[in-house]
Amino acid sequence: MVQAGLIVKREAGEARGIMAREMILVVEDDEDIQELIRYNLAQAGYRVTVAGTGEDGLKAARAKTPDLILLDIMLPGMDGLEVCRILAAQDATRHIPVIMLTAKGEEADVVTGLQMGADDYITKPFSPRVLLARIKVVLRRQSRDADDAEQPLKAGEIHIHPGRREVRVKGKLVELTFTEFGILHFLARHPGWVYTREQIVDTVHGTDYPVTDRSIDVQMVNLRRKLGAAGDAIETVRGVGYRFKE
């Protein structure tokens, strides 16, 4: 588990064989945890940039365009939730997946983070092995989406372009978070099929993603609201989950 000043070298050593060139931005004010994460990511082959405040994290995200951001919620000055909101609102950074790091375990904090645009979260303390596994899931999902770049999808009034991660309704651009886009694209590719909340989470975030039913429902509410009348295409199947109308 993560503890101040402690680097779990055994787990980092096991991951050393992973050859990755992705850049990860770590926004964390605790220097011991920052160094712990930096060390283990570097051992796994990732390029790493670190920032100790929300303001510096935003500057680094804009300047370096990382492939993924690890973002602590409890930061001095501008907190992680505000940083996440700004990242999701700007064209240059909204496509970057964000994993939030938090010492809080309350459901309300998780839901708030997802609403602000976070794609995953990890509660402290955590093991480097779990952290690396979750990063791989998010990056693999992003890579998979890139493979579908030549397969735009039209579902009624909704036009989805996976490569550009772009959604339009009646030609008008709809701004969605990384997670909202993933949910919409998944359901729209399987019209008529009913999926449980757990199945949706597993598909969009990878297996064993620690998220509650309530947070998935919040994502659906936000997604429907952004799609306007076209959001009616997403149906709630009471007692089961959700489906996209045929």
Residue written as tokens 């969009």? 204
Q: What pLDDT, on the 0 to 100 scale, is given for residue 142? A: 67
pLDDT recorded at residue 182: 86
> Buried (b) or exposed (e) across 199-236, using 16+ Cβ within 10 A?
ebbebbbbeebebeeebbebbbebbbebbeebbebbee
- pLDDT at residue 40, as a whole number: 95
Query: What structural domains does the chain harbor?
Result: 9-145 (3.40.50.2300), 149-244 (1.10.10.10)
pLDDT at 5: 31
pLDDT tens digits for the chain (246 residues)?
444 333 333 333 434 444 458 999 999 999 999 999 999 999 999 999 999 999 999 999 999 999 999 999 989 999 998 999 899 888 889 889 999 898 766 667 767 777 777 878 888 888 899 999 989 888 877 665 555 545 788 988 999 988 788 999 999 999 988 888 889 998 998 888 888 888 888 777 654 555 556 678 888 999 999 999 999 999 998 888 899 997
Rounded to whole angstroms, how far apart are CA atoms 145 and 135?
16
Q: What is the pLDDT of residue 224?
A: 95
**Res 7: pLDDT:** 34
User: Rounded distance, CA 141 to CA 182, Å?
Assistant: 9
pLDDT of residue 228: 95
For the chain, give the DSSP string.
Answer: ---TT---HHHHHHTTT-----EEEEE-S-HHHHHHHHHHHHHTT-EEEEESSHHHHHHHHHHH--SEEEEESS-SSS-HHHHHHHHHHSTTTTTS-EEEEES---HHHHHHHHHTT-SEEEESS--HHHHHHHHHHHHHHHHHHHHTTT--EEETTEEEETTTTEEEETTEEE---HHHHHHHHHHHTSTT-EEEHHHHHHHHH-TT----HHHHHHHHHHHHHHHGGGGGGEEEETTTEEEE--
pLDDT for the residue 150: 58
pLDDT of residue 199: 80
User: What local confidence, expressed as pLDDT, does residue 8 receive?
Assistant: 37
